[in-house]
Amino acid sequence: MDFSLLTYNTLFSNALLGLKKVHASQHPDIICLQEIDTSETTFKQVEALGYKLADYANAFIKFGKIYGVATFYNPKKFVFIRSKVIFLPKGFLEIVMYLMRVFRTGRKNRTILKTEFACNKTGHKLVIYNVHLTPNGTNSLRQRQIQLMLDDVKLTKVNKPTIMTGDFNYPYRRKQLETLMHAYGLKEATNSIFFTMHANAPFSTWLERFASKIFTRFMRNRVKLDYVFYKNCISLLAKKINVEYSDHYPIYTVFKLEKTLDC
């Protein structure tokens, strides 16, 4: 059985219109969103495209709204089984930033959302990790955050098809990330995609717009933050979708579930 998956950092929900365009052309079976406003109003906009919300996990507050990760699925193809939220450790820089804005943001931790599905027709099981690691810290902190996810995979005795996808915020020394994932039997579906940052996003503040200009000039074709890793299934396709509503490209992938797996 084949299925498709889309991962998209929506830039504080600005990219919901872009999501509609992607859906119109690609019709992914599972959608993993990061930096999404976790309100019922926002969820209904995605569900209006024919999806159901599996679950969501809050991460931080900005502009007076709570943002996090959310995973949606096509109910004609999958049934949602269960979910789990993995809370991620903070680094020193995040703690400093938290102390500076504690009265505005409240106590929020970065999270990884794990969801499990079963195929309606075949009964195949599928595990999805929706990832949004910290942008404010070192790669060593992100490796600690990733390790919590990998430890969770290791605890699973049954070799279920597993996808880890989202915004890893891992901009440099990417070989270290690949080595870490390979050690746990995970392959990268997006290894032919060399950058995932979009330079023409509608940023809201002058500082973000200024940073975008610098980024466009020096780093546009070098920064890769979004990944799709997988195990116990077959990668068939991975591509960027060229829409300009976020500072990240949406990444569309297709996988095949193997009949011989113990699901």
Mean pLDDT of 137-153: 93
What whole-number percentage of the chain has pLDDT above 70? 81
Nearest to 18 by CA among 5, 33, 29: 33
Burial track 204-220 (b if 16+ CB lie within 10 A, e otherwise): eeeeeeeebeebeeeee
Please, are residues 22 and 47 in contact by the beta-carbon 8 Å criterion?
A: no
Token readout for 16 is 């919901």
Structural domains of the chain ordered from first start: 2-256 (3.60.10.10)
Residue 110 has what pLDDT?
86
pLDDT in tens, 162-217: 999 999 999 888 899 999 999 999 999 999 999 998 866 555 555 555 665 665 55
| pTM for this prediction | 0.90
Residue 79 has what pLDDT?
98
